[in-house]
């Protein structure tokens, strides 16, 4: 599946007009023509085949669907891609910020199947105090927008569904390095269990070793090529319960506190010797 069909996932009725807001500074008269302008502008969402976010996140459309190519080609969530491309289209200038220099610069480039650039923007950090506004570069100036665009960052997991097992509920924190050896992963001696995924109760998962230097564990699911790193608590139900500890036996015994054996305590006392009659 290519990039086609992204737009219809959210429907034309979805209103994603970014809310412009103003800091109330004195720059309104300096650049009134920029306020409210769309920073990226229109591009054909149906033609998008790749998204580049800095140097750590790459998304690409292929015959099997969208994947995060910088995350071992893990499947991307198409609805998240469609939603965020529409947000990018609607990104507007809320206010020009004179003298502002972006402390973070994250270039975002959207391309078609032939590699042609359809849209691009340089995003900055969130507003220092408010948290919900985000800076960007536009026409050589630093501007503040009302859309945080949280998905556009260094974390590729924002573009995927991290839940991998429905019952018990298991989400992964990251994908394991594909170069790890079997001894490190510990699947040879791991715990094999049945789990439920998308209604299928016959899925097989294997819990491996604990990640070195932490408490997370390795997990693999039959039919998937990735090895997941998951929180230990999420796989507790799959692990065998430790054997119950036997209660320590009390010291001494029921016969007495002298420490004599039960046999000795249970033996009948010898009869006292009869006294000889006085002459």
d(CA 157, CA 155): 5
Q: What is the mean pLDDT of residues 102-109?
A: 96
Nearest C-alpha neighbor of 121 from the set 43, 7, 59: 43
Contact 135/145 with Cβ under 8 angstroms?
Answer: yes
**Residue written as token pair 């529409």:** 86
Length of the chain: 279
Helix residue spans in 118-186 (DSSP H) = 182-185
**pLDDT tens sequence across 225-242:** 999 999 999 999 999 987
Least confident interval from 31-40, 147-156, 217-226, 266-275: 266-275
pLDDT in tens, 119-176: 999 999 998 887 678 999 999 999 999 999 999 999 999 999 999 999 999 999 999 9
Q: What is the structure's pLDDT at 74?
A: 98
Structure token pair of residue 36:
């409210």
Q: What is the mean pLDDT of residues 51-59?
A: 97
pTM for this entry: 0.76
Q: What residue spans define the domains of the chain?
A: 6-158, 162-238
User: Which of 77 and 27 is assigned the larger pLDDT?
Assistant: 77
Choose among 42, 43, 32: nearest CA to 141: 32
The token pair that represents 186 in the structure block: 């510990």
Higher per-residue pLDDT: 279 or 175? 175
pLDDT (0 to 100) of residue 135: 96
């Amino acid at each position: 599946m290519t990039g086609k069909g992204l737009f219809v996932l959210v429907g034309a009725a979805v209103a994603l007009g970014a809310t412009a807001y103003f800091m109330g500074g004195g720059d309104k008269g300096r650049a009134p023509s920029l306020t409210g302008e769309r920073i990226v502008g229109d591009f054909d969402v149906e033609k998008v085949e790749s998204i580049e976010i800095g140097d750590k996140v790459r998304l690409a459309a292929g015959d099997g669907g969208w994947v995060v190519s910088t995350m071992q080609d893990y499947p991307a969530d198409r609805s998240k891609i469609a939603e965020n491309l529409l947000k990018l289209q609607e990104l507007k200038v809320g206010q020009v910020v004179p003298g502002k220099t972006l402390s973070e610069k994250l270039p975002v480039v959207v391309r078609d199947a032939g590699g042609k650039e359809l849209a691009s923007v340089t995003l900055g950090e969130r507003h220092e105090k408010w948290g919900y506004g985000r800076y960007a570069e536009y026409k050589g100036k630093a501007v503040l927008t009302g859309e945080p665009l949280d998905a556009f960052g260094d974390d590729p997991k924002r573009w995927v569904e991290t839940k991998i097992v429905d019952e018990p509920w298991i989400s992964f924190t990251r994908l394991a390095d594909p170069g790890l050896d079997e001894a490190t992963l510990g699947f040879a001696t791991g715990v094999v269990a049945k789990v439920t995924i998308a209604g299928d109760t016959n899925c097989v998962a294997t819990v491996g070793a604990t990640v070195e230097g932490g408490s997370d564990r390795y997990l693999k699911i039959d039919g998937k090529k990735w090895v997941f790193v998951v929180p230990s608590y999420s796989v507790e139900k799959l692990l065998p319960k430790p054997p119950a500890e036997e209660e320590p036996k009390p010291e001494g015994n029921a016969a007495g506190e002298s420490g004599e054996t039960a046999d000795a305590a249970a033996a009948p006392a010898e009869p006292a010797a009869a006294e000889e009659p006085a002459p």
